[in-house]
């Protein structure tokens, strides 16, 4: 008896070529990012998240989380509210309360950390909110 040769049998070269192509594809998928640029990794003291809460009495509270904050360092922040009818707010706290906002307006609040010279550090974080749904 002779074994029947299947038309699906591959030569050694074909098998190796398939393995090489598959491993190259896996490598490309695992090492490439979708946008082509690396994701920003926050460093100690950078603003990691910003939250805005509508309060029942008509004002807005904004608070933020600082990545790996150090209690020994004095922290200063700049809060910018857009549309630009509000001056920037400079604070050493991790929260602010905003009063007198137009209920129909969409507001964008950006929080940046400041260094000891008052220069912006890192990209900061932004949140958008409308006072009235």
Domain locations along the chain: 47-130
Query: What is d(CA 74, CA 70) in angstroms, rounded to the nearest whole number?
Result: 8
Weakest mean pLDDT among 11-15, 28-32, 44-48: 28-32
Query: What is d(CA 52, CA 128) in angstroms, rounded to the nearest whole number?
Result: 8
Instruction: Say which DSSP state 84 is in.
Output: T
Q: What is the pTM of this model?
A: 0.63
Residue, of 3 and 61, whose pLDDT is higher? 61
Strand ranges in 18-88 using DSSP code E only, listed in sequence order: 47-54, 60-66, 76-82
Residue, of 4 and 93, whose pLDDT is higher? 93
As given in the structure block, the two tokens for residue 88 are 């920037």
Check pLDDT > 90 for residue 79: yes
- How much of the chain exceeds pLDDT 90, in percent? 13
Kindly report the CATH number that applies to the domain delimited by 47-130. 2.60.40.10
Length of the chain counted residue by residue: 133
Which pLDDT belongs to residue 24?
74
């Amino acid at each position: 008896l002779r074994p029947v040769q299947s038309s699906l049998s591959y030569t050694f070269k074909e098998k190796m070529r398939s393995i090489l192509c598959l491993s190259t594809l896996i490598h490309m998928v695992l090492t490439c990012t979708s946008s082509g640029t690396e994701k920003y990794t926050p460093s100690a003291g950078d603003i990691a998240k910003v939250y805005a809460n509508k309060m029942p009495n008509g004002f807005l509270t904004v608070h933020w989380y600082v990545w790996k904050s150090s209690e020994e360092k004095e922290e200063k922040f700049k809060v910018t509210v857009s549309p630009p009818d509000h001056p920037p707010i400079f604070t050493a706290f991790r929260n602010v309360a905003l009063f007198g906002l137009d209920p129909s307006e969409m507001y964008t609040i950006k929080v940046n950390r400041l260094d000891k010279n008052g220069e912006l550090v890192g990209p900061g974080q932004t949140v958008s909110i409308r006072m009235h749904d």
